[in-house]
Amino acid sequence: MTLQSLRQGKLRIWLAILAGLVFATTPTLLNAQELLGYWPLEETDEGADVLDLSGNGFHGSFEGDVDPNVEGAPGFGSGAFFDGVTGQVYIGPGDENGFGDLTEDFTVMAWINPENFGHKNRVFGSAPHGGAGFGWGTVGDQLELTTWGIKDYDQGASLEEEEWAHAAIVLDDDFEAHFYLNGEFIGSQPHPSPGNPTANDFYIGFACCDAEHFEGRIDEVALFSGQLTEEQIKNAMTLGVLNFDGNVDPWAVLDDGSLTDPTERANYIHDVLHSWVGDSNKDREFNSSDFVQVFAAGEYEDAIPSNSTWEEGDWNGDHDFDSSDFVAAFTDGGYELGMRPGMRPAAAAAVPEPASIQLISIALIGLFRFRRK
């Protein structure tokens, strides 16, 4: 054996040892995450469906005493107030929506604003019949995840009554619950066994029993399979649930051809983007500054098919900028109304508003009103 081959052999050994140390000290990759349900609670009518915007169609319905038209979490439009006695949102049976199969390896989250720590406040979960399923919420000023008949995972959180907080809980595949408050990890609680699968009904604002109805406001409820990281939880809290990975532009959906139905498009703009049809500069308002931007793009009725985007005036999703886009925008009714209720300003560059463009804006409004007569 030559000296060189001996050195190479030792190098391989050291590299193998180093690789082993790196592997031993690196957390195992988390299972793939999938958004199973997302209820932003932007409804304003008790008779309306409680929309699931995950794309899975698990819409719910209001039951009992719920006020769906209250101010939501900062930056997220409206939320829903639950009376703590009968108010709840019915989602459906766990064996039909698949939520009942979650006995480990899942993530729950919501913005919560509890008003009474004198009883448990359940945010989301299933009925507990047969000691099966799960529910989460608050116990006193703590967070709690319960796998019915198995374990109460309680974590100190120093919640405050009548104050908004973003709460998230991850139950991993070793049955350990990890708690996050306002995007920050606050502790873990172990247990040696998983929950039990269930066919029981799932609810928002209720789980377990009548004494544990949520009392206060809830907003932006979400359920995932898999374990979200702290960064993903922060993304969901600040950028919105649909952008939990932090690398998806929620505005891009307006240009990809998937949202052309007028009602679905308007709902997405209202409930997910928290804006108005016509908000081309994405500052969450529809006003003359949007006209400045779209006319500067120079694509109004330019006879070039399918060359326009949302930022260039295609508000109705047909990839062109023409008079039909003004019909869609003014029908939506947000012109010069400011931001939607509960919104906070989004960062946006200042845009000059030349007098000539303002005159065009006024003329377009007049044209629209004329055509409506």
Q: What is the pLDDT of residue 327?
A: 96
Selection from 34, 42, 69 nearest residue 221 by Cα: 42
Give φ, ψ of 104 to 5 degrees. -170, 170
Could you report the per-residue pLDDT of 165-204, keeping only the tens digit for each? 999 999 999 999 999 999 999 999 999 999 999 999 999 9
CA distance 38 to 73: 15
Domains of the chain, each with CATH number or no CATH: 34-243 (2.60.120.200), 265-372 (no CATH)
Helical packing angle, 355-372 and 323-332, nearest 10°: 80
Q: What is the pLDDT of residue 77?
A: 82
- CA dihedral sign of residues 190, 193, 197, 201: negative
CA distance 342 to 319: 31
- pTM given for the model: 0.68
Could you report the per-residue pLDDT of 324-366, keeping only the tens digit for each? 999 999 999 999 999 987 554 444 333 334 444 445 555 554 5
DSSP string, 27-55: PPPPPPPEEEEEE------TTSEE--TTS
Residue 143 · residue 165 · CB < 8 Å:
no
Map tokens 């995840």 to a residue: 145
Q: What is the pLDDT of residue 342?
A: 58
Q: What is the pLDDT of residue 22?
A: 35
Could you report the per-residue pLDDT of 279-295, keeping only the tens digit for each? 999 999 999 999 999 99
Instruction: Name the token pair of 159.
Output: 């919640």
Task: Quote the Cα angle for 56-306-273, to 5°.
Answer: 40
CA distance 71 to 280: 25
DSSP string, 283-346: SS-BSHHHHHHHHHHT-BT-S-TT---GGGT--SSSS-BSHHHHHHHHHHT-BTS-SPTT--PP
Residues in the chain: 373
Instruction: Name the token pair of 57.
Output: 């169609």
Q: In sequence order, which ranges of the chain are alpha helices (DSSP H)? A: 3-25, 94-97, 230-239, 262-271, 288-297, 323-332, 355-372
Task: Report, as ranges of residue numbers, the positions in the chain whose pLDDT lies below 50.
Answer: 1, 3-30, 344-358, 365, 367-372
Indicate the burial class of 19 (C-beta count within 10 angstroms; 0-12, 13-18, 19 or more): exposed
Residue 223 · residue 36 · CB < 8 Å:
yes
Instruction: Determine the distance from the C-alpha atom of residue 127 to the mean position of all C-alpha atoms in its chain, rounded to a whole number.
Output: 24
Residue 161 · residue 116 · CB < 8 Å:
yes
